[in-house]
Amino acid sequence: MAAVKHAQVARKTPTPAEMLARDMDSLHVLPLSIIPFRNPMLKSSRLIKNSRLETVVEVFRHEEGASGQVPVNDVWGVMGVDPEAPEIQSDRGMLSKLAGLYSYDVYTLRMALRSFGIEIADHKVLRLSPLKAAELGEYMSKFTRPLLSQVYSGMDTEIRDLDQLLNLFRSPDKGNALKNLQIMAEKLNIAIGDIPKFLEDYGDIFLSLAYFREVLDELIPQITELLEVMGEMKKSMQLAADRNLMKTCAYMEERLTDITTSITGRFENFHQNSSDMWENVTADSFRAVKEMVAGHHMTLGGVLCGLSVKMSMWEEKFGGGRGGLVQRSEFIMSEMRQGIDTIAAIEKSAPSPVTIRQ
């Protein structure tokens, strides 16, 4: 019996590959093993956004949840390394640049690493895991449906991942499909043999939107619940007398409402522009939509990363109806308020919504 229990525990322990995939699917964690640092201790650490949305180096994490976190500028002393030593200046420069990112989602990382001139050994790691990509099938279908209608008119097919989409186009099974593919290739000013590459670009850019949209959809009910809790605090005679608490609640209500309204509007703009693109798809219209979405990656990631960290804290502490109003009010004052202005500033810095003309 003991052996059976041991086996059950062992199966629950994630493998290094599973842990890496989980980290790469997150917005607030960057496993430094993928970065070409020279210092081995640094490569075994992670950059994370903490509860106050500060970037810290996590030098260890135990299964029971204990986490050893060090401010980025102090990590060299912890490692017993002279921060001015010539041999670590490359590591120090890369770490400083990465610490300044709003988010560590794979889409932000791709652009940032290219901008920083940081070459990693395996670019395939900068993708969502197959499990996460499969979870996004419902979201992806919103973007693949107009694409399919261009080639498979009237075909009722659910696309669950990019490979399934690519296989449909590599082996079209309807008489008009090849003809429609040729028309599409002409509109895009590419050879029909280049259609799979176009589809990979298309699938990737809209997989990023599906990923961010799923995160937002999970956050909205949590934020709504938090706003309702703050509304209850206003009705409490005991808590309503606390001016600092009421001021904090009013501030957070305004900021969270503005942030969620703004970011939801951005997704509506993406959807409208992508739908309009297919009415008369051209190489220029696709490029414009692709550049528009890519231009929002860093701020989308930053806002959703910040909100995810905050709401995860709230759920961990008070999920399932745990905690009374007084305990919740103390947590709002001590933990939730910190960093909300940072999230609001990131959203405010986002590119203005545009309408792409055909």
How large is the C-alpha radius of gyration of the chain? Answer: 23
> What is the number of domains present in the chain?
2
Digit-coded pLDDT (tens) for 271-329: 889 888 888 888 888 889 999 999 999 999 999 999 999 999 999 999 888 999 999 99
Confidence at 270, pLDDT banded by 50, 70, 90: very high
pTM over the 0.75 mark: yes
Residue 5: per-residue pLDDT? 39
223, 179: one domain: yes
Query: Residues 269, 271, 274, 277: is their CA dihedral positive or negative?
Result: negative
Give the other-Cβ count within 10 Å of 18's Cβ.
12
Helix (H) or strand (E) holding 168: helix 162-170
The verdict on 309 and 172 lying in the same domain is yes
For residue range 231-260, what is the model confidence (pLDDT) as tens digits? 999 999 999 999 999 999 999 999 999 999
Are 218 and 109 found together in one domain?
no
Same structural domain, 220 and 74? no
Is the same domain home to 180 and 316? yes
Q: Are residues 196 and 116 in the same domain?
A: no
Both 122 and 139 in one domain: the answer is: no
Fill in the DSSP letter of residue 65: S
The residue from 127, 152, 171 where one domain ends is: 127
Confidence bin at 147 (pLDDT 50/70/90): confident
Query: Do residues 63 and 144 share a domain?
Result: no
Write down the residue that tokens 């703009």 correspond to. Answer: 269
Residue range of the domain that includes 56 = 2-127
Q: Residue 4's pLDDT is what?
A: 37
pLDDT-based confidence at 162, cuts 50/70/90?
low
**Among candidate residues 102, 127, 152, the one where a domain is terminated:** 127
In this structure, are 261 and 282 located in the same domain?
A: yes
335 with 204, same domain: the answer is yes
Question: What's the pLDDT tens digit per position in 167-200?
Answer: 666 666 656 667 777 888 888 888 888 887 887 8
Residues 6+ apart with CB under 8 A from 3: none
Last residue of a domain, one of 76, 92, 127: 127
- Gap between the Cα atoms of 208 and 111, Å rounded: 13
Count CB atoms within 10 A of the CB of residue 295: 14
Same domain, 343 and 300: yes
314 shares a domain with 243:
yes
Task: Tell me the HSE value of 335 on the side-chain side, using a 13 A CA sphere.
Answer: 18
CA contacts within 13 A on the Cβ side of 323: 17
CA distance 302 to 129: 20
